[in-house]
């Protein structure tokens, strides 16, 4: 067991954990999620948008309502 200090390290552990999953289901709903969803799926992969790392995963399924998809469609 190694103690983790700082928010940046904790975030890296979370990202690493999710990227090890065989399948990922991303669910987004509402207009307030539209920009985040667009940036996550089509923006640059960057630490400022942690979900953007999912672009590198082989099996991500996205379920979103029309409002969340409004900036993509």
pLDDT at residue 2 in the model: 41
d(CA 16, CA 10) in angstroms, rounded, equals 10
Average pLDDT, integer, range 46-73: 94
* Range list of β-strands (E), 1-73: 24-28, 60-64
3-state secondary structure of 5: coil
Contact between residue 68 and residue 34 where contact means Cβ atoms under 8 Å apart? yes
Distance (Å) of CA 38 to CA 4, 20, 23, 53: 31, 23, 20, 13
Query: What predicted TM-score, i.e. pTM, was given to this entire model?
Result: 0.77
pLDDT at residue 12 in the model: 58
Contact between residue 22 and residue 59 where contact means Cβ atoms under 8 Å apart? yes
- For the chain, the average pLDDT equals 85
């Amino acid at each position: 067991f190694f103690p983790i200090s700082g928010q940046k390290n904790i975030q890296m552990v979370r990202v690493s954990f999710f990227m090890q999953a065989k399948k990922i289901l991303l669910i987004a709903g509402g207009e307030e999620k539209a920009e985040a969803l667009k940036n996550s799926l089509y923006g640059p992969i960057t630490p400022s948008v942690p979900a953007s790392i999912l672009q590198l995963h082989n099996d991500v399924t996205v379920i979103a309502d029309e409002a969340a998809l409004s900036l993509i469609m």
